[in-house]
Structure 1
Amino acid sequence: MTQQTTLHAAFAGHVAAALDALKAAGTLPAGLSRAAVAVEPPRDPAHGDLATNAAMVLAKPAGLNPRALAEALVTELAKIPSVTAAEIAGPGFINLRLNAAAWLDELRTIAALGNDYGRSTVGAGTTVNVEYVSANPTGPMHMGHCRGAVVGDALASLLEAAGHKVIREYYVNDAGAQVDVLARSVHVRYREALGENVGDIPEGLYPGEYLIPVGQDLAREFGDKYAAAPDSEWLALFRNRAVAAMLVMIKADLALLGIHHDLFSSEAELQAAGKPDEAEAWLRAHDLVYDGHLEAPKGKTPEDWEPVELPLFRSTKFGDDQDRPIKKSDGSWTYFGADLAYHFQKAQSADALVDIWGADHAGTVKRIKAAVAAMTGAEGKPTPFEVKLVQMVQLMKGGQPFKMSKRAGNFVTLADVVEMVGKDVVRFTMLTRKPDAQMDFDFDKVVEASKDNPVFYVQYAHARIRSTLRKAAGEGMAPSADHLELLGEEELGLIKLAAQFPRLIEAAAAAREPHRVAFYLYDLAAALHGYWNLGNDRPEKRFIVAQDINLTGARLYLATQIGQLIRNGLALLGVEAVEEM
Structure 2
Amino acid sequence: MNLFADIRAAVITSLTAMTQDGTLPEGLDFANVAVEPPRDAGHGDMATNAAMVLAKPAKKKPRDIAEALATKLAQDPRIDSAEVAGPGFLNLRLAPVVWQQVVAGVLAQGTGFGRSDMGQGRKVNVEYVSANPTGPLHVGHTRGAVFGDALAALLEYAGHVVTREYYINDGGGQVDVLARSVYLRYLEAHGQEVAFEDGTYPGDYLIGAGQALKDKVGDAYVDQPEDVWLAEVRGFATDAMMDMVRADLADLGIKMDVFFSEKSLYGTGRIEAAIEDLKGKGLIYWGTLPPPKGKIPDDWQAREQWLFRSTQYGDDEDRPVQKSDGAWAYFAPDIAYHYDKVQRGFDALIDVFGADHGGYVKRMKAAVAALSEERVPLEIKLAQIVRLFKDGEEFKMSKRAGTFITVQDLLREVGKDVTRFIMLTRKNDAPLDFDFSKVTEQSKDNPVFYVQYAHARVMSVLRKAQAAGLPCTDADLTTADLSLLDHPAEHALAAKLAEWPRLVEIAARTHEPHRVAFYLYDLASEFHGLWNRGNDVPTLRFLQEDNPAASGAKIALARSVSVVISAGLGILGVEPAQEMR
Matching of residues 17-416 of structure 1 within 5 Å: 17-18=13-14, 36-54=32-50, 65=60, 67=62, 74=70, 76-89=72-85, 93-193=89-189, 195-298=190-293, 304-348=299-343, 349-377=345-373, 381-402=374-395, 409-416=402-409
Give the superposition deviation at 1:91. 5.7
Once residues 19 and 165 of structure 1 are traced to their aligned partners in structure 2, the CA distance between those partners, rounded to angstroms, is 35
Give the superposition deviation at 1:429. 0.6
> CA-atom RMSD, angstroms?
2.7
Q: Which amino acid aligns with 1:269?
A: S
Structure 1 residues 299 and 406: CA distance shift in structure 2, 3 A:
closer
Give the superposition deviation at 1:514. 0.2
Match of 1:567 in 2: 566
Once residues 507 and 461 of structure 1 are traced to their aligned partners in structure 2, the CA distance between those partners, rounded to angstroms, is 24
Once residues 145 and 177 of structure 1 are traced to their aligned partners in structure 2, the CA distance between those partners, rounded to angstroms, is 20
Once residues 63 and 126 of structure 1 are traced to their aligned partners in structure 2, the CA distance between those partners, rounded to angstroms, is 36
Once residues 567 and 466 of structure 1 are traced to their aligned partners in structure 2, the CA distance between those partners, rounded to angstroms, is 11
Once residues 81 and 301 of structure 1 are traced to their aligned partners in structure 2, the CA distance between those partners, rounded to angstroms, is 73
Structure 1 residues 283 and 491: CA distance shift in structure 2, 3 A:
same
Once residues 64 and 183 of structure 1 are traced to their aligned partners in structure 2, the CA distance between those partners, rounded to angstroms, is 72
Percent of aligned pairs sharing the same letter: 54
Structure 1 residues 287 and 147: CA distance shift in structure 2, 3 A:
same
Match of 1:503 in 2: 502
Once residues 407 and 478 of structure 1 are traced to their aligned partners in structure 2, the CA distance between those partners, rounded to angstroms, is 60
Q: CA contact under 8 A between 2:33 and 2:53: conserved in structure 1?
A: yes
Give CA-to-partner distance per residue, 1:526-564, whole Å, 9 cap, x none: 111111111223333322234433322221111111111
Once residues 89 and 521 of structure 1 are traced to their aligned partners in structure 2, the CA distance between those partners, rounded to angstroms, is 30
Identify which of 437, 461, 477 aligns with 1:468: 461
Structure 1 residues 525 and 408: CA distance shift in structure 2, 3 A:
farther
Give CA-to-partner distance per residue, 1:496-548, whole Å, 9 cap, x none: 01110000000000000000000011111111111111122333332223443
Q: Matched residue of 1:265: which SS?
A: strand
Give the superposition deviation at 1:50. 2.5
Q: Which amino acid aligns with 1:214?
A: A
Match of 1:557 in 2: 556
Once residues 298 and 438 of structure 2 are traced to their aligned partners in structure 1, the CA distance between those partners, rounded to angstroms, is 57
Once residues 184 and 330 of structure 2 are traced to their aligned partners in structure 1, the CA distance between those partners, rounded to angstroms, is 28
Normalising by structure 2, we get a TM-score of: 0.91
Q: Matched residue of 1:551: which SS?
A: helix
Q: Matched residue of 2:381: which SS?
A: strand
Structure 1 residues 538 and 365: CA distance shift in structure 2, 3 A:
same
Q: CA contact under 8 A between 2:188 and 2:194: conserved in structure 1?
A: no
Structure 1 residues 460 and 39: CA distance shift in structure 2, 3 A:
same
Structure 1 residues 245 and 504: CA distance shift in structure 2, 3 A:
same
Q: Which amino acid aligns with 1:257?
A: L
Once residues 108 and 15 of structure 2 are traced to their aligned partners in structure 1, the CA distance between those partners, rounded to angstroms, is 30
Give CA-to-partner distance per residue, 1:226-259, whole Å, 9 cap, x none: 3333323322222122112211110110111100
Structure 1 residues 403 and 286: CA distance shift in structure 2, 3 A:
closer
Give the superposition deviation at 1:565. 1.1
2:530 is equivalent to residue 534 of structure 1: no
Give CA-to-partner distance per residue, 1:175-209, whole Å, 9 cap, x none: 1110111111122222333x241333334111223
Unaligned runs of 5+ in 2: none
Give the superposition deviation at 1:306. 1.8
Q: CA contact under 8 A between 1:100 and 1:492: conserved in structure 2?
A: yes
Question: How many residues are treated as equivalent by the alignment?
Answer: 571
Once residues 67 and 200 of structure 2 are traced to their aligned partners in structure 1, the CA distance between those partners, rounded to angstroms, is 72
Structure 1 residues 50 and 271: CA distance shift in structure 2, 3 A:
farther
Normalising by structure 1, we get a TM-score of: 0.91
Match of 1:429 in 2: 422
Q: Matched residue of 2:266: which SS?
A: helix
Once residues 33 and 260 of structure 1 are traced to their aligned partners in structure 2, the CA distance between those partners, rounded to angstroms, is 44
Q: Which amino acid aligns with 1:544?
A: L
Match of 1:490 in 2: 489
Larger deviation, residues 354-363 vs 68-77: 68-77
Structure 1 residues 302 and 258: CA distance shift in structure 2, 3 A:
closer
Once residues 120 and 97 of structure 2 are traced to their aligned partners in structure 1, the CA distance between those partners, rounded to angstroms, is 31
Once residues 330 and 429 of structure 1 are traced to their aligned partners in structure 2, the CA distance between those partners, rounded to angstroms, is 48
Q: CA contact under 8 A between 2:178 and 2:200: conserved in structure 1?
A: yes
Give the superposition deviation at 1:15. 4.3
Q: CA contact under 8 A between 2:354 and 2:384: conserved in structure 1?
A: yes
Once residues 224 and 249 of structure 1 are traced to their aligned partners in structure 2, the CA distance between those partners, rounded to angstroms, is 25
Larger deviation, residues 202-211 vs 119-128: 202-211
